[in-house]
Amino acid sequence: MSNRLKELLQDCSVEASAPCRIDMGGTLDIPVFYYALHHLSPCTFNAALALRTRVTLCANDSDMVKVSSRGFESAEFQLDSAPFDHPLGIIFAIAVYYRAHGIHITVESDSPPKSALGGSSAAALAVIAAFDRAYQELGERALPVRRSVALAHDIESAVLGIPCGLQDQLAAAYGGVNAWYWTVSPDGPRFEKQSLMGKKEAREFEKRILIAYCGIPHVSADVNTTWMKQFVSGSTRDKWVQIAGLTADFVDAVDKKDFPRAIKAMNKEVDLRLEMTPGVLNPIMHRLVQAAKENAAGARFTGAGAGGCVWALGEEDKMEAIKELWSKILAGEEGAHLLDAGVDPDGVLVSQR
**Which domain CATH number covers 180?**
3.30.230.10
Which residue range is the domain that position 273 belongs to? 200-338
Residues 264, 300: Cα–Cα separation, whole Å = 12
Overall number of domains in the chain: 2
Query: Which pLDDT band holds residue 321 (cuts at 50, 70, 90)?
Result: very high
- Report the distance separating Cα 7 and Cα 1, nearest Å: 10
What are the start-end ranges of the H helices in 294-345?
316-331
Q: Give the residue-averaged pLDDT of 128-135.
A: 97
167-174 vs 119-137: helix crossing angle, rounded to 10: 50
Supply the pLDDT for residue 153.
Answer: 96
Q: Does residue 323 share a domain with residue 264?
A: yes
3-state secondary structure of 132: helix
| pLDDT for res 2 | 59
Residue 1 has pLDDT above 80, yes or no: no
Q: Are residues 315 and 325 in contact, defined by beta-carbon separation less than 8 angstroms? A: no
User: Could you tell me if 186 and 206 lie in one domain?
Assistant: no
Phi-psi group of 277: left, alpha or beta (phi > 0 → left; psi -120 to 50 → alpha; rest → beta): beta
Please tell me whether residues 159 and 273 are part of one structural domain: no
Question: Residue 280 CB: number of other CB atoms within 10 A?
Answer: 22
For residues 253 and 238, give the distance between their C-alpha atoms in angstroms, rounded to a whole number.
23
Same domain, 123 and 210: no
Residues 256 and 228 in one domain: yes
Res. 12 pLDDT band, cuts 50 70 90 = confident
Mean pLDDT of 295-317: 96
Indicate the SS3 state at residue 53. strand
CB-based contact 5:95 (threshold 8 Å): no
Give per-residue pLDDT as tens, 141-184. 999 999 999 999 999 999 998 888 999 999 999 999 999 999 98
> Are residues 312 and 348 located together in one domain of the fold?
no
Q: Is the pLDDT of residue 218 over 70?
A: yes
Q: Which pLDDT does position 72 carry in this prediction?
A: 86
104 and 208 part of one domain? no
Q: Would you say residue 189 has pLDDT above 90? A: no
pLDDT for res 216: 86
pLDDT at position 125 over 70: yes
> pLDDT tens across 199-214, in order?
999 999 999 999 999 9
Alpha-carbon gap, residue 223 to 231, rounded angstroms: 12
Q: What is the CATH number of the domain that holds 228?
A: 3.30.70.890
pLDDT digits (tens, 9 = 90+) for 78-117: 999 999 999 999 999 999 999 999 999 999 999 988 889 9
| Separation CA 201–CA 199 (nearest Å) | 6
Nearest to 44 by CA among 205, 161, 170, 136: 170
Q: What is the pLDDT of residues 30-55, one digit of tens each?
A: 999 999 999 999 999 999 999 999 99
26 and 142 share a domain? yes
Alpha-carbon distance 48 to 50, whole Å? 7
| pLDDT reported for residue 188 | 67
Rounded to the nearest 5 degrees, what angle is found at the Cα of 85, between the Cα atoms of 82 and 88? Answer: 75
Average pLDDT over residues 9-26: 95
The verdict on 232 and 168 lying in the same domain is: no
What 3-state class would DSSP assign to 301? strand
Residues 9, 155: one domain?
yes
Q: Which of 227, 188, 211 shows the shortest CA–CA distance to 336?
A: 211
